[in-house]
Amino acid sequence: MEHYYQPEIECASQEQIRQWQSQRLVQTVHRVYENVPYYREKMKAKGVEPGDIKSAEDLRFLPFLTKDDLRDAYPYGLMAAPLSDCVRIQSTSGTTGRRVVAFYTQHDLDLWEDCCARAIMAAGGTKEDVVHVCYGYGLFTGGPGLNGGSHRVGSLTLPMSSGNTDRQIQFMCDLGSTILCCTPSYAAYLAETICERGLRDQIKLKAGIFGAEAWSEEMRQDIQDKLGIKAYDIYGLTEISGPGVSFECSEQTGMHINEDHFIAEIIDPNTGEVLPEGSKGELVFTSITKEAFPLLRYRTRDICVLTRKPCSCGRTHVKMSKPMGRSDDMLIVKGVNVFPSQIETVLLNKGYPANYQIVVSRENNSDRLEVLVEMTPEMFSDSVSLINQKERELIEALKSMLGIYAAVKLVAPKSIARSEGKAVRIIDNRKLY
Ligand code: DLL
C-alpha cells in the first residue's frame, strides 16, 4: 500500500491507541492551560488543575466547550499558538456571532491533510487516480481539505470547486476523473445529469467521497447505481479541522475516527454524562495533536453512536455512525449551516413579529429553503406589488445574513398555527435521518 495508508497507526492495538491518546492529552491540557486564558478560567471554575489529567481516562474531569464559547472567545480567544505561527484560516458561513473561525499552523495543516489522505486511500485512492474535488474552495474546509489530502496521496488533483455543472462533467470525461469529492446532494445532481445526457459510458469514476451534510442509505444506493461507483461517507467540522475527522472504509458501515488525533466521547446532551459504547448521544471531540486551535471536549451537537466492533478492513480506530440528527436546531441547507436564530434576527430587525416557519425540502436533488413570515395587522395589505416588494427586501436581508437564497412568503396575521408546547419553527421534509 502507498504512503498514506498507515497500518501501524490505523490498525494499532487498543492499548497502543490509548497510550498515544493519554500522552498527547496530558501535553495538550498543559499547553492549553498555559496559553489559553479563556479555557484556564473554565478549568479553574470546575476546580481542575492540569496535573489532575494523567491519562485519557481523566478526560471526563475537563469542562466542555460549546459554540457559545467559540462566540464568546471570537476571534482569537481560544488560540494556543501565536498568530505569527499560523499560516491559514478557515471558517464556516454565518454572521459573526455564529461564524466559526479556525486557525492552523503548518503542522496543523499537515496533520489535517494526512487525515484526508487516509480517507482517500480508504476509498481506494492511489497515485494513479484523478481526484476531482468539487467541494467549495475558500473559507469552507471541504475543498482545501480534500485537495491537500489528494496531493499527499500523490493523485492528480482537479481543484474544480463547486458549480458550473457543464464544466464539471466535461472535465470528468476529458481528464478521466476516477474519484469524485463533493456533497452528496451535488453528487446526486451530477449523477442524474450524466445519466440524462447519456454520458455514463464516458466517465471513469470508481469512487466518491461525499460528506458535509446528512444523506440516507437510499441516496447512497441511487448515486452508486447511477454512476457505477462505490460511495464513501466522510465527516468533519471546521472547529476540529475540517473533513477527515472520520471516514468510511470498504465496509461502508460507519466512519473510522482518526483516534491518534482526536478522542471521541458520547454524552447525554441533557446531562453531559458520558455514555457507554453503543449508546446514542451527542458526539464530543478533543483534539490532541493540534497547535493553533486545540479544542478540549468540544460538543459537536451531532447525535450518533460509536462502536469498536472489529472491522473487515483491519482498521482498529473506533467507528461513528452517520449523524442521526442534532441536539441543537442547526440546519444544513446546500451545505451551509443555518440557525433559526439568524432568521429570527433578520425578521425582528425588519419589524416583523417572530412568528415564522422554516420549510426545507429537496427538489431535483437540491435543497430548497422557504421562510413563511406572518405580517402584523398593520402590514397586511391587498396590494400584491407591495407584498412582493416586502418579500424581495426580506430575501435580500436573509441572503446577506445566511449567504444563501431563501424563498420568502408573507402570510396573513395569525395564519401560522400556534403550538401549545414549543413552537414548530422548522419543517424539514428531506427525510435525511
Ligand atoms: O462540513 C466539513 C466537511 C467538509 C465534512 C467536507 C465533510 C466533507 P462545517 O461546515 O463546519 O464542516 O459543518 C460541520 O456538518 O457538525 C455535521 O453536522 C455536518 N456534517 C459534516 N459531515 C457530515 C456527514 C464541514 N458526513 C457539520 N454526515 C457537522 C452528516 C455531516 N453530517
H or E stretch covering 384: helix 384-402
> Does ligand 1 come within 6 angstroms of the Cβ of 374?
no
Pick the residue whose CA is nearest to atom 20 on ligand 1.
Answer: 212
pLDDT score of 277: 95
Cα–ligand 1 centroid distance for 93 (angstroms): 12
pLDDT score of 364: 80
Rounded (5°) CA angle 192-196-197: 120
Ligand 1 atom closest to Cα of residue 214: 30
Residues 32/39, Cβ–Cβ less than 8 Å: yes
The residue to which cell 472489529 is assigned: 310
pLDDT score of 390: 94
Pairing of strands 130-133, 86-91: unpaired
Pairwise CA distance, residues 317 & 115, whole Å: 13
Pairwise CA distance, residues 412 & 433, whole Å: 33
Rounded (5°) CA angle 277-212-360: 105
Count how many Cα atoms sit within 13 Å of the Cα of residue 323 in the half-sphere of its side chain.
Answer: 24
pLDDT score of 325: 86
Beta strands (DSSP E) in 41-111 are 86-91, 101-105
> Does ligand 1 come within 6 angstroms of the Cβ of 284?
no
Ligand 1 pocket test: pick from 237, 252, 339 the residue with the most ligand atoms within 8 Å of its Cβ: 237
Query: If you count them, how many residues does the chain have?
Result: 433
Helix segments in 156-289, DSSP class H: 165-175, 184-196, 217-227
Cα–ligand 1 centroid distance for 209 (angstroms): 12
- CA-based nearest residue to 65, from 318, 277, 217, 272: 272
Residues of the chain with pLDDT under 50: 1-2
Pairwise CA distance, residues 327 & 281, whole Å: 9
pLDDT score of 1: 41
Peptide bond preceding 276: is omega within 30 degrees of 0, i.e. cis? no
Pick the residue whose CA is nearest to atom 28 on ligand 1.
Answer: 214
The C-alpha cell at 131 is 481526484
The sheet with strand 280-287 has its strands ordered as 156-159, 130-133, 179-182, 207-211, 230-237, 242-248, 255-257, 319-320, 298-307, 280-287, 262-267
Ligand 1 atom closest to Cα of residue 239: 11
Give 186-210 pLDDT, tens digit per residue.
998 899 999 999 999 999 999 999 9
Give 317-369 pLDDT, tens digit per residue.
999 999 998 888 889 998 888 988 889 889 988 988 878 899 999 888 789 99
Cα–ligand 1 centroid distance for 203 (angstroms): 27
Give the SS3 label for residue 19: helix
Residues 24/175, Cβ–Cβ less than 8 Å: no
pLDDT score of 419: 60
Cα–ligand 1 centroid distance for 119 (angstroms): 14
